[in-house]
Structure 1
Amino acid sequence: MIKHIRNKIVAVVAAGIMIASLSACGSKNTSTLSDGVTEVSVMDRDTDGVVEEYKKTVENSEYIMHALGGMDGKSYINSIDCLRKTYEAGYRLFEADVSYTSDDVLVLAHSGQDNIWSEADWNDRIGIAYPFRDMNGNELTEESKDYFTSNGYDFDNHTCNYDSFMTFRIQGEYTATSFSDIVQFMKEHDDMYLMVDAGNRSYESTQKLYKMILDTCKNDYSVLDRIIAGGQTTDMMQAVKDTYDFPLLNMYYAGDDVREESIYSPEQFINYCNENGIISFSTAKETYNDYNGAALKEAGLISYVFTVNDSDEAALMKSYGADVIGTDFLW
């Protein structure tokens, strides 16, 4: 009897320790949304060590692999085939396009506004003929629409379902990749970091995607702490922050013609980043120059400049202050 009581006490204490540990990892309460996505509330925790390890990786990295890296002269592949090759070559920073299928499963696929897969996304990036028009570019017949709809194709967002996507050979050659494939790779390789490119989204669409990321990661902070999370607008950044306390926050520094008025100048952008715990920014090479590069560098923000495939141009971006160059082929 005494042994039985002692074992019960040990079990209760162990359970208490486990609960405390989970809380310290960032997860406090969970609930299931109507679409099956797990909503997670988070608690503050000490992430200084996480950020320091990340900064060490940045300091030792010249490049981040755009869309997991190009191969055979092709870009925007977003395939685990590329990830394996570039990781084996010694790279540890990766960027990938993340969106969701018509049945709400995260995959690596480029998207436009609010998760719409454009004609270019289909034809050029996925490498599958755009299925929402016929070969002559005309609207599909009702019979054809019914066929595609019954097979999981969404005519509003121009997406397909997960099962269809995973049968594709990306650009005719490469393995179609789910976000869960990347999570598994990250669990097996605990020194890689993934920057999520979610495209341009509303607050609601951004939060949906990041809640799906949490669900796919099963709230595993050892993976979540190596996801460089963020967005292109202040609404997107707020959605990310409202979803989970990602320690590695990144914001896109948009071009002059589309950057929000509240963060238009480098000084305004820097203030916003400082106030919101954002430690890095990404930007296009066409936007980055010696003026904004110097100001953003002085502020201590980590800089990622995309997409550069010429070594001389990479050197020029570095001279402006870029920390890491986003590339397809300079590896």
Structure 2
Amino acid sequence: MKKWLAALLFMICLPAFSTPALASGWTDHNLVAHALGGIDQKAYTNSYEAFETNYEKGQRLFEIDLQFTSDGYLIGRHDWSLYAFQSLGQTLTPEMTGGPLPLADMKELKMFDKYNVLSFSDIVDLLHEYPDIYFITDTKSMDKETITAQFGQIVELLNEDPYLLKRIIPQIYNEGMYTTIENVYPFESYVYTLYQTTDSNQKVLQFVKEHPKITAVTMPEWRANASFLGSLKKINKLSFVHTINSLDEMEKYKSRGVYGFYTDFVTPEELKTYYAQKTQKSAGKSVQTVVSKKN
């Protein structure tokens, strides 16, 4: 009886997320720090301080929005709209209606008077300083020339170093973008994010099945149904949902088969604690059920 209960408890208390056989490196992580993660309850800063804060909280997989400045440098930036400046607490002069602006101006224009923009050169420095981090790119553009220029600059700044480039995971928005990036550099792994595509689930499944280097598919909540998620799992593709800041919501989508989440504020330790509590509670109920049946 005791041995049987011990075996039951062991099975129940296995880690809440298990990494599939294909996983190595970035896929060991189930949380993606969206726009380098939130800081002081603020999202979308893509700032140095956001990176440092979330690294200290245990994040190792970071998504970063990338845009060109007016003088051609890639920086961490969601977009150049007037709203983006206002929402990040950046004061513009009356003649300025948005961007893009030169890199030097962006370096001076702190977010909320204290957060600093990151150029891709700064990202390169972080990759050298922190050998356990990975960056998923969100470059926004679907224009072939812009994509080529964006990833050309990324590869150039990383000196075509395979060790560093394997820690950059391009996010693609349609089928053609995969080929465009591959013509720049054959990255080791890709994420297909679905928020810009109108392709059917079946078309997405066929495409990712034909391209082994597309390791994961990221989707908005409305697309994360059990059937689609199950089909992805059958062809050995990881599934992520964005952007989730609730542990209970993560549990809901995990029960459907989701592997991981883009998040602004949930930390690995919070997720670990949450699932430890859930499995402990589940184990207690299971033991009570077994004992009741035996009695």
Q: TM-score, normalised by structure 1?
A: 0.69
Closer, same or farther: CA 318–69 of 1 in aligned 2, 3 Å: same
Are 2:249 and 1:281 aligned? no
Q: Does 1:296 align with 2:246?
A: no
For residues 185-241 of structure 1, the C-alpha deviation after alignment (integer angstroms, 9 at most, x for no partner) is 111211211000011321111111110111221222221111011321223222111
Given that residues 226 and 256 in structure 2 are in contact (C-alpha distance below 8 angstroms), is that contact kept between their aligned partners in structure 1?
Answer: yes
Once the 2 structures are TM-superposed, how far is the Cα of residue 119 of structure 1 from its aligned partner?
2.4
**Aligned partners of 1:58 and 1:323 also within 8 Å:** no
Query: Which is worse superposed, 220-229 or 286-295?
Result: 286-295
Q: What corresponds to 1:190 in structure 2? A: 131
User: How many Å separate the matches in 2 of 1:268 and 1:166?
Assistant: 42
- Paired letter, 1:66: H
1:89 correspondence with 2:57: yes
1:230 and 1:240 in contact (8 A); partners too: no
Structure-2 residue corresponding to 1:139 = none
- CA distance change for structure 1 residues 53 and 128 in 2, over 3 Å: closer, same or farther? farther
Once residues 325 and 311 of structure 1 are traced to their aligned partners in structure 2, the CA distance between those partners, rounded to angstroms, is 10
Distance in 2 of aligned mates of 1:98 and 1:85: 20
Amino acid paired to 2:135: L
Paired with 2:177 and 2:116, the residues of 1 have a C-alpha distance of 30
Matched, 1:118 2:62: no
How many angstroms apart in 2 are the aligned matches of 1:234 and 1:119?
31
Q: Using the alignment, how far apart are the partners of 2:155 and 2:138 within structure 1?
A: 16
Q: Which residue of 2 aligns with 1:177?
A: 118
Report how far residue 93 of structure 1 moved.
Answer: 0.8
1 CA distance for matches of 2:229 and 2:78? Answer: 27
Q: Tell me, in whole angstroms, the C-alpha distance in 2 between the residues paired with 1:53 and 1:100.
A: 37
Aligned pair partner of 1:326 in 238, 245, 262: 262
Letter of the 2:189 counterpart: L
Structure 1: distance between partners of 2:39 and 2:70: 28
CA spacing shift, 1:298–1:54, aligned 2, 3 Å: closer
Q: What's the secondary structure of 1:163's corresponding residue?
A: helix
For residue 43 of structure 2, give the secondary structure of its aligned residue in structure 1. Answer: coil
Which secondary structure does the structure 2 equivalent of 1:169 belong to? coil
- Partner of residue 235 from structure 1, selected from 166, 171, 176: 176
Letter in 1 for 2:226: D
Percent sequence identity over aligned pairs? 26
1:309 and 2:271 correspond: no
The one of 57, 61, 70 equivalent to 2:38 is: 70
Please give the alpha-carbon distance, in whole angstroms, between the structure 2 residues aligned to 1:245 and 1:56.
Answer: 18
C-alpha offsets along residues 111-170 of structure 1, whole Å, 9 cap, x if unaligned? 3xxxxx22232222x432466xx4xxxxxxxxx4xxx6xxxxxx8x93000100111212
Q: Distance in 2 between matches of 1:192 and 1:290?
A: 31
Once residues 235 and 245 of structure 2 are traced to their aligned partners in structure 1, the CA distance between those partners, rounded to angstroms, is 27
Q: Secondary structure at the match of 1:273?
A: helix
Residues in 2 aligned to 1:84 and 1:78: alpha-carbon distance in whole angstroms? 11
Residues of 1 paired with 2:60 and 2:49: CA distance? Answer: 15
- Write the distance in 2 (CA, Å) between the matches of 1:103 and 1:121: 19
Q: Secondary structure at the match of 2:65?
A: strand
- Residues 82, 54 of structure 1: alpha-carbon distance in 2 compared, 3 angstrom cutoff: farther
The answer to whether the 8 Å contact 1:202/1:235 transfers is no
Shift of 1:272: 0.9
Partner of 2:277: none
SS in 1 for 2:137: strand
| SS in structure 1 of the partner of residue 23 of structure 2 | helix
Which of 253, 256, 272 pairs up with 2:207?
A: 272
